[in-house]
Structure 1
Amino acid sequence: MKGILLGAAVGYVLGARAGRQRYDQIVRAYRSLADHPAVQGTAGIVRAKVGEKTGFGRHQPNANGHRRETVIPRAN
């Protein structure tokens, strides 16, 4: 049992050292892709289409015809 735990601990430490470099590489690639203008434009179009279909993000009047205001909690 102790051998398994020791092996797992050693594997975790060695994997974490190599894993951090790989993780940073993946994050850089993701950010460069997410910041690309074509991706940003497509994301805006998708958000607009989803908003049209679901009504999400628009204020709908309630039963008495008044618009509900969004309440944003204040950070303390």
Structure 2
Amino acid sequence: MSKLSFLAGLGVGYVLGAKAGQKRYAQIRNHAERVWSSDPVQARVDTVKQTVKDQAPAVAAKLGDAAKSAGASAKERLTGEDLPPSLHRGTDHRLHADTTGYGPGGDKLP
């Protein structure tokens, strides 16, 4: 019996709370609409819109430069090689060793 009365109380509370919540939501929504459509708020919105339009080319240029730099950096990290100083890529794109320094062989050991 206690479970049944608990569930009934829960159902009544939900229905009453939903109705009260709906009224309060409508009040908040109406107040927000009045504030948004007021002259001072709309004047500020127009100012911000104009500022955004004026600054858009500069922001686009900066974003473009940043994207190019990021792309170049990513390309370098993905395609670049971290070779020791004694190795390099020749004009034929093959690895070449620097034979003037230390390397294998008895005459090149320290």
Give RMSD over aligned pairs.
2.4
Higher relative CO (Cα under 8 Å, sequence separation at least 6) belongs to 1
Could you tell me which residue of structure 2 aligns to residue 2 of structure 1? 15
Q: What letter is aligned with 1:33?
A: V
Q: 1:11 aligns with which of 7, 24, 46?
A: 24
Task: Please state how far the C-alpha of 1:10 moved relative to its aligned partner.
Answer: 0.5
Could you tell me which residue of structure 2 aligns to residue 31 of structure 1? 46
Tell me the SS of whatever aligns to 2:37.
helix
Take 2:61 and 2:30, find their aligned partners in 1: how far apart are those partners? 42
Whose helix fraction is larger, Structure 1's or Structure 2's? Answer: 2
Tell me the matched-pair count: 53
Take 1:21 and 1:10, find their aligned partners in 2: how far apart are those partners? 17
Unaligned runs of 5+ in 1: 56-76
Could you tell me which residue of structure 1 aligns to residue 33 of structure 2? 20
Tell me the SS of whatever aligns to 1:35.
helix
Task: Please state how far the C-alpha of 1:43 moved relative to its aligned partner.
Answer: 3.1
Q: What letter is aligned with 2:23?
A: V
Unaligned runs of 5+ in 2: 1-13, 69-110
Larger Rg: 2
- Residue identity over aligned pairs, in percent, reads 15
Could you tell me which residue of structure 1 aligns to residue 101 of structure 2? none
Task: Please state how far the C-alpha of 1:41 moved relative to its aligned partner.
Answer: 3.7
Matched, 1:47 2:47: no
